[in-house]
A and B are shown apart, each in its own frame.
Chain A
């Protein structure tokens, strides 16, 4: 069973519907024990880092997520989920989960580009990962965000995306992989990536 982590950060049913579509069962839960019992964890979310961290802590989900990572349970972060895993967010200068060393940074204001970065954009694969299996070159994914994760260690960056600058759009470490884009709203390429995660057995 796959657990979708519920911490009052937006509509989680879309991730559930995507899982259902590719034939995987899931639960949406904010119960730390149920999250520890799941075979895999999906950690989605939209909104601001400050509120999200407050909710995560009050539900006791911070400890569950950190332990799940330590025992190498497969975790997929999506959007805000790819930011909250970092040590710190520059959004409200919020201390975050610290599963990955680094911080969450905002796009700078004066590039002439629209913020948030909203729409379809491609990814440059920087390192091979099972989650990219079978993806064709030039596939695009759906993004909606004003901040992005910036890992301290380059080896945690699996893909980047160009938007004025080149920012990390897929980060990972061990059994953790996280996409800044909405994998569940990225058409067939997104579903393929989600299926890759469902089949993934990190050793």
Chain B
């Protein structure tokens, strides 16, 4: 049976991984390629680079990182952040990424999903959704609303409706980030995860709030997620991927073991 995936997310700003990652090993802690290799050897099932470039001019740097990473690690990885056009998608795919995630640009221009899926296949188009809980109302019957621009701007779009629409448009996967849970280390937004995961047929990656292995267990069982994004819990060396996988295995969740 298929394994649940564990996906470390690396935030990259102008060529360096941010968040002051602290590893005990002797690797350059801010070098995205070195970190990607570290996680590859540790048993990560996939990786995400999130590009937080300060300006358009600096965007080229991520392509170099992708190119170098692609020649050193042999698991799928995706690139998100600042993807606005079909050309942007083409560039990161040609540089060697397996998938691209579109977020704000898909809200303002949903066609980027269908055009991307048609040109490169659904399997490489990931819809990134940033979601905040709101009072259920006529416009937002699910009680969850899509926010863009890093959580600053409410769109008035219902999260569940948007997920279903993106699936129809040809998204191959959804990366579901709860802005409320993000950074809390108190666990994923399970109700939201389960709501979206049970209403679409494409895989859903839970994101935001992971602080310990139990949180991943909840996302995979109660939340029905297919994959879980992690960041600080492994970046700071609090847990290793091996430890997380050992915990999940002991609880009966199937994960890929590193043999």
Counting CB contacts under 8 A, is B137 at the interface? no
From the candidates B2, B121, B203, B227, name the one contacting A121 in the complex (CB within 8 A). B2
Contact in complex: B98, A185 (CB < 8 Å): yes
Given A17-B96, A114-B226, decide whether A185 and B74 contact each other with a Cβ distance below 8 A: yes
Q: Mark A182-199, 1 if CB is under 8 A from B, else 0.
A: 101111111100000000
From the candidates B40, B203, B257, B259, name the one contacting A119 in the complex (CB within 8 A). B203
**Which B residue sits closest to A47, measured CB to CB?**
B121
**Which A residue sits closest to B76, measured CB to CB?**
A185
Contact in complex: A14, B75 (CB < 8 Å): no
Q: Mark A12-53, 1 if CB is under 8 A from B, else 0.
A: 011001101100000000000000000000000011000000
Contact in complex: B98, A14 (CB < 8 Å): yes
Contact in complex: B203, A162 (CB < 8 Å): no
Q: In the complex, what residues of A have CB within 8 A of residue B71's CB?
A: 17, 20-21
Given A11-B93, A14-B70, A118-B123, decide whether A138 and B5 contact each other with a Cβ distance below 8 A: no
Counting CB contacts under 8 A, is B120 at the interface? yes
Q: Mark A95-136, 1 if CB is under 8 A from B, else 0.
A: 000000000000000000011111111000000000000001
- Chain A-chain B contacts (Cβ-Cβ < 8 Å), number: 82
Counting CB contacts under 8 A, is A59 at the interface? no
Number of interface residues of B (CB under 8 A): 31
Bound together, the chains give a CA A14 to CA B45 distance in angstroms of 17
From the candidates A20, A120, A182, name the one contacting B45 in the complex (CB within 8 A). A120
Bound together, the chains give a CA A191 to CA B174 distance in angstroms of 28
From the candidates B5, B70, B121, B256, name the one contacting A46 in the complex (CB within 8 A). B121
Given A17-B71, A20-B71, A187-B74, decide whether A116 and B172 contact each other with a Cβ distance below 8 A: yes
Q: In the complex, what residues of A have CB within 8 A of residue B74's CB?
A: 18, 21, 184-188, 190-191
Question: At the interface with chain B, which of A64-72, A139-147, A148-156, A169-177?
Answer: A139-147
**Which A residue sits closest to B120, measured CB to CB?**
A10
Bound together, the chains give a CA A136 to CA B75 distance in angstroms of 18
Q: List B residues at the A interface (Cβ < 8 Å).
A: 1-5, 40, 45, 70-72, 74-76, 93-94, 96, 98, 120-123, 172-173, 201-203, 226-227, 256-257, 259
Given contacts A117-B2, A119-B227, A120-B45, 9 further A-B contacts (CB under 8 A): A21-B71, A114-B201, A116-B123, A119-B45, A120-B2, A120-B3, A121-B2, A138-B259, A186-B74
- 22 A-B pairs, CB-CB below 8 angstroms? A13-B96, A17-B70, A21-B71, A21-B74, A114-B201, A114-B226, A115-B201, A118-B123, A119-B2, A119-B4, A119-B203, A120-B3, A120-B45, A120-B256, A136-B259, A142-B75, A143-B2, A144-B172, A163-B1, A184-B74, A185-B76, A190-B74
